[in-house]
Every structure is written in structure tokens, then in C-alpha cells.
Structure 1
Amino acid sequence: MRRRLLREINATVHGADLHLERYDRPPGDPGLFGASSVVWRVHEHPAGMLVGGFAALMLQSLHPVAMRAVAEHSDFRTDPTGRLHRTARFVSTTTLGSSAAAEAAIAEVRRIHRFVRGFDAAGRPYRADDPELLCWVHTAEVSCFLLGHQVFAGRGRLSGDECDAYLAQVVLIGELLGADGIPGSRAALAEYLARVRGELRSGPESLEVVALLRGFGRTRRERLAVRILTNAAVGLLPGWARTELGIRRSWAVRRLWDRPQARLLGAVMVWACGLSPIRAAAHARANAGARTAG
């Protein structure tokens, strides 16, 4: 049962091919962060990452320029599963993958971004490799990953200093992608979000993203799991974001129904993902040098 659940989770999130060659070699390579980093600790928690990831997609959709670029250049409508797989692979590769694999994944995204250009609703030009736009996408994503971890990790919650360390460490990925001005602490994050709040608003594409996420799934069981996780993701969003997206779920429903359901599902996922071949390969690679030296 445990292995079957793990296969289903991996197939849903990563696709049929896990590309373990990105994680299992060369021996002793720590990757961009290393096995003892706070980044590995946060990104290895499946429930926190999935709930945080869904919240991030909703929050990111409130940036009109970012959403315009996605609407005009992404296949999220025609191939939502493929879009999810590519996003999950990028996050796992840049976090747990070898240094070469992480750098190759980042280089590929930068190559694609060079061709993503257009005009916003006001007729102003935009480009996906704009440093400020990249800062928004990165910051919205990692802030939701961190919040997802803090809500669903139980006793594995980070201390305040560890939260700051996480934000400081993941700045590296944003900077390698070309972002500028990335907040590297909780204080800087709060200041950044307050500063960009006036630029954020929903539009037809934002509402479409929310509807697509909440209805995602190829099977009845997958749709049920995604609905539980996306309901919990709604609870991670600030109140103004829920209002912008037209989501009306009371505090009682979010805290007393959505979150307990997601915690139960998350516990099952953590139990199943204890056998994750990606995690096993990454730890074996990163720890190989230490074993040899010992």
C-alpha cells in the first residue's frame, strides 16, 4: 500500500519518469544547498510543499503582468498536468539535484524566458526575464512554501531564525534566474509584500487559474486529494488575496475543516513519501563523500 501510494504521488506530481540521474550522481556533490540546509528540510516535506505550491500559484496569478505572460505563452489550459510536472521537476531539481542538474535546469528556464515577451493590458511591453517580475514570482513561491511547511510540519516547524535562514538561502535560485531585490528575511518579506500590494489584482485569467487548480485531477481520487489540498492552500493566502480571487470560505471552515483534512492527507503523504526514490538518491549522493571520509 505504501509503495502504491508513493507511485501515485510521484506520477501525479513528477510524471512517470523521475529522472533519478539528476539526483544520484556524482558522489559527494552537495548540490546548490546541501543535505543539512534548511532548504532541504522545507522542500522535503510533501504536504507543506504541495499546499504551499498551490497557494503560490494562486498568489502569483494576482500579478497582472505575470498572469498576462502565463496566459499568452503557457500551455496551462491545454496541458495542466504537464505544466505541474515541469514546475515540480524544476523545484526538486534545483533543491535536491546535483549542482550540474540544478544549473542546467536554471539555464533552460532562462533560455525560455528570453522568448517570452509581449504587451500588458495597458499596451506596455513586458518580458519574462525582467528582474522585478522574476522577484515577484520567486518571492510569492518561496513565501508560500515556507508558510506551508510551518502549518503542516508539526514538530518539524522552523524557528524564527531558521525561517530567516530559509529565505536567505533560496535567494540563490532567484538570483541565478535573474531576479533582483529578493527579500532574504521575514522582515524584508513583509516589507516587500506591503510594497507590491498595490500592483496586485485579479482578472479573468486569475479566476481561471483558481478554477483549474481546484478542479485538477485525472481520476476521482486524485481530484478529491487536490481539492483537499487546494482548500487548505486557500487558508494560507492573506485575506485580501482571497477577496481578490472571489473565494469565500469562513475562518471556521478554513481552520476547523479544511486544515484538519489536509493535515490528515499530509500525514498519509509523509508516510508514503518516506520511501521517495528522489530523496533517497539525493541523500545518497550528497552523503557519499562524508561516508568515504569517515
Structure 2
Amino acid sequence: MRSPIATARRRLALALRDRVAGPDADRRAHSIWLAPGERRFAPDDPICRVQGHAGMYAGGIRALLLQSLHPLAMAGVGEHSGYRDDPWGRLQRTSEFLAMTTFGPAEAAERMLDKINRIHETVSGADRQGRPYSASDPHLLRWVHVAEIDSFLVAHQRYARRPLTPPEADRYVDQASYVATRLGIPDPPRTVDELGTALAAYRPELETTPGALDVVRFLLLEPPLPWAARPGFWMLAAGAVELLPGYARDLLGLHLPAPLRGLEGMTLRAVAGPLGTVGTRAVGWALGDPSEPRNAPGSSQLSVRTPLT
């Protein structure tokens, strides 16, 4: 018989799994964690440590907020992704993609990458100012990649009990570049310094647009969650906002009123940062539930992987 604590842990794990993996969670988990086959990355590789850590939740929110500031990337998301009509479906597809390309059998990961490339070829349009965009545009793909990897790394370094060392952080960026290359991004960043340079290069292109502000409202004010689940989500969101660059918070309107602006940094560190830590540790506690497929004995045996070079 489960103890009350074990029962609470299992319930939280199932709630997270239902949102992130969806109704087909068992099949997806088996295809990623339990299916036989060589993996591209070993379990102690930096990419597995970062992208298997609970910090991905706050990191993912930060990435979405940051990515929304590029008007052409946001136009494509707004018109084609269905993030408002089917937000959980989009999250589930993104989660499956990240998990499969990081932890899944290499052959299955390659098939998924091919599928994503085919989808990207069908997505194009123009923003409100008539500027054309295409989901297969290497420049836009590079923006999405650098904003995402920077967010995942920043969140991991903040919330992990054992952050990556500088050489490990460089290795993470390098390992993440494989998927970027397969998605059509020429010469993606391979070190933390290159990642920072790549991110800064997009700064002149970032704008406050109605689409970006809609993402803020949707994610931070009107998340598609029952009220009982919102406090936990808002803890993660507070952490995500604290981790954003200052210019991104300014463009998104995520700052204190002008008379209190001088206290903003201290307030974020004193309030938002600890909330993010509590939320992330609660997620990590749930993800450690022994009933989860990723923690099953069979999965741990398969995780003794043969890294591909």
C-alpha cells in the first residue's frame, strides 16, 4: 500500500505526464525509453543531463517568451502552430520531439527529424507588415534554436544541484548542434560563447508585436489550466521570467511600474527566483517517481547506450 507521500508523488507525476505526453503517453514513453536500439547520446552526456532535468519546464517557458519576440517566427507560430486552439497538443509534440532526439533510438530520431523537415517545407506566409516567412528559412530556424538552447542551459545552470562545468556546457551546445544541422541550420553554435554571440546577433530584429504580447497573456495570465494547477505553473513561470534577459522583459512588458523599476532586479532575485526553484524541485520530485517509464528497470538497462559518433 502506498504511503500518502508516495500517493501524492504519483498523482503529480501522472498530472504532469498527462499534460506533457498526452493520452498516448504509454506508447510514446515505450518508443523513447524502452525501445531497443543504439542511442546517439550516452546517459551521462551533458545533453541528457540538461534535457532530462526538471529545469526544462521553466526553461521551456523562457524559450517560448524569448522566441515570441522575433516577428517572423511569431507570425509562423501564430498562424500555423495552433498554440491557442490546441496548446497541449503542441506541447506534447514538442516534448516528444525533444525526448526522442535526445533519449530515443537513433533510427527513430532520424525518422522524426525527416518528418519535421517535411512539415517545415509546407509552412510559409507573411506577417502583418507583409514580410514573408518560411518555417524552413535557416535564419528563422537558427533563432528558434539559439533561443531554445540558451533557455534550457540557463535554466539548468540555475536549478540543477550539479550544474554543468564550463567544458560540459560547451559540450552541451555542441551536442545540441546535431539536431540543428539536421533541421537545416548551417554552422550552428558549438560553444557557449558562440551561442551568446548568435543570440546577440538577433537583438536588432526583435520587436514588441501583438503576437508576442498575446503569448505573454496566454502563458502568464490565462494559462490553459484548471485553477488548482495554476499556482504550480505560475511558480515555474516566475522562474522563467527571472531568467529572461532584461531587454526581453522590457519588450514583453514584464517589469515593475516606473517608480519601482530600480527594485526590479532585487525583487526578481528575492521572489521570482525562489518560486522557480520550488516549482522546479516539485517537478523533479514527481519525475523521480519509480512508476514512471523513464525510471523503470528496463529503461535503465537500455540506457547503457552505445553513443553514435
Distance 1:270 1:84 in 2: 18
Distance 2:81 2:285 in 1: 34
Shift, 1:38, TM fit:
0.7
Write out aligned runs for 1:119-268 (5 A): 119-154=126-161, 156-214=162-220, 215-249=222-256, 250-268=264-282
Name the counterpart of 2:302: 285
The gaps in structure 1 that reach 5 residues or longer are none
2:76 to 66, 69, 78: 69
Shift, 1:289, TM fit:
7.3
Q: Is the 8 A contact 1:96 1:282 kept in 2?
A: no
Change (3 A) 1:180 1:258: same
Distance 1:198 1:142 in 2: 20
Segment of structure 1 superposing worse, 245-254 or 54-63: 245-254
Equivalences, count: 287
Q: Is the 8 A contact 1:49 1:148 kept in 2?
A: yes
Distance 1:105 1:122 in 2: 33
Shift, 1:282, TM fit:
4.7
Tell whether 2:79 aligns with 1:79. Answer: no
Name the counterpart of 1:41: 49
Instruction: Give the residue type in structure 2 aligned to 1:65.
Output: L
Instruction: Give the residue type in structure 2 aligned to 1:39.
Output: I
Shift, 1:182, TM fit:
1.3
Q: Is the 8 A contact 1:15 1:85 kept in 2?
A: yes
Name the counterpart of 2:30: 21
Q: Is the 8 A contact 1:132 1:181 kept in 2?
A: no
Distance 1:185 1:17 in 2: 36
Q: What TM-score results when the alignment is normalised by the length of structure 1?
A: 0.92
Report SS of the residue matched to 1:115.
coil
Instruction: Give the residue type in structure 2 aligned to 1:216.
Output: P
Identity %: 38
Q: What TM-score results when the alignment is normalised by the length of structure 2?
A: 0.87
Change (3 A) 1:221 1:30: farther
Q: Is the 8 A contact 1:64 1:201 kept in 2?
A: yes
Distance 2:110 2:229 in 1: 32
Instruction: Give the residue type in structure 2 aligned to 1:175.
Output: T
The gaps in structure 2 that reach 5 residues or longer are 1-7, 257-263
Shift, 1:181, TM fit:
3.0
Distance 2:139 2:217 in 1: 27
Q: Is the 8 A contact 1:24 1:282 kept in 2?
A: yes
Report SS of the residue matched to 1:118.
strand
Report SS of the residue matched to 1:56.
helix
Report SS of the residue matched to 2:243.
coil
Distance 1:151 1:30 in 2: 31
Distance 1:220 1:236 in 2: 25
Q: Is the 8 A contact 1:23 1:282 kept in 2?
A: no
Distance 1:141 1:254 in 2: 22
Distance 1:289 1:114 in 2: 33
1:116 to 111, 119, 123: 123
Shift, 1:286, TM fit:
2.9
Tell whether 2:40 aligns with 1:32. Answer: yes
1:91 to 98, 105, 108: 98
Instruction: Give the residue type in structure 2 aligned to 1:23.
Output: I
